[in-house]
Chain A
Amino acid sequence: NAGVMQNPRHLVRRRGQEARLRCSPMKGHSHVYWYRQLPEEGLKFMVYLQKENIIDESGMPKERFSAEFPKEGPSILRIQQVVRGDSAAYFCASSPGGSSGNTIYFGEGSWLTVV
């Protein structure tokens, strides 16, 4: 049973380009979370999704950021018109149900560098 798979592991984008980060949850998991870790800072919640639904996007910046978790395929975190401040590690996590009684498993992260 593969763990949470994220790709790419490392991504370099020029300012103004788009970044797409993918997350395949563990088999049987229908809940996905995205977190961002800025250099030398803690992990900050961005968005919580179930299949085809955004449950909580209270941590998402209002502009340029979007997330989806389609019925088929991985969850995608999309950052449009990237700026240097978007450089960070983006972590995806999954769980089989809601967070209340389930261990949440994290992927290895995607490191975005904006030059």
Chain B
Amino acid sequence: KQEVTQIPAALSVPEGENLVLNCSFTDSAIYNLQWFRQDPGKGLTSLLLIQSSQREQTSGRLNASLDKSSGRSTLYIAASQPGDSATYLCAVITDKLIFGTGTRLQVFP
């Protein structure tokens, strides 16, 4: 059974710091991995999709990497801003998405 874990569960940092959020999964037989952002009381916003043949994807200040063999993905956020405050979720994709428990990020001015 696939299990997805995210570390840390919560993170509070001052504005401007570079951050690394971690996601690990137990079964490497995945198609893709997707990172999402969720604001309180809101739905999910897709940030990055990494296909299994890729090792990383970049969008603006965000960079996500994928190492299937070790069952790990990281989301790197450069020069964090207060607007980045949200819960970040990773999901491994087989025939459906299996979510991690999320990292709650707070960036203070």
Question: Across the interface, do B34 and A103 meet the contact criterion of CB distance under 8 Å?
Answer: yes
**Contact string, A66-108, partner B, CB cutoff 8 A, digits 1/0?**
0000000000000000000000000101000011110111111
Partner of A43, one of B42, B45, B89: B89
Contacts of A48 in B (CB 8 A): 95-96
**1/0 contact string of B67-89 vs chain A (CB within 8 Å):** 00000000000000000000001
B interface residue count range (under 10 / 10 to 19 / 20 to 34 / 35 or more)? 20 to 34
| Cα separation A10 to B44 with both chains bound (whole Å) | 17
Which range contains the number of A residues in contact with the other chain?
Answer: 20 to 34
Give residues in A with beta carbon < 8 Å to B: 6, 33, 35, 41-45, 48, 55-56, 91, 93, 98-101, 103-109, 111
Give 22 CB contacts A-B under 8 Å: A6-B43, A33-B97, A42-B89, A42-B99, A42-B100, A42-B102, A43-B44, A43-B89, A45-B98, A48-B95, A56-B95, A93-B97, A99-B94, A99-B96, A99-B97, A100-B32, A100-B93, A100-B95, A101-B32, A106-B45, A107-B43, A109-B42
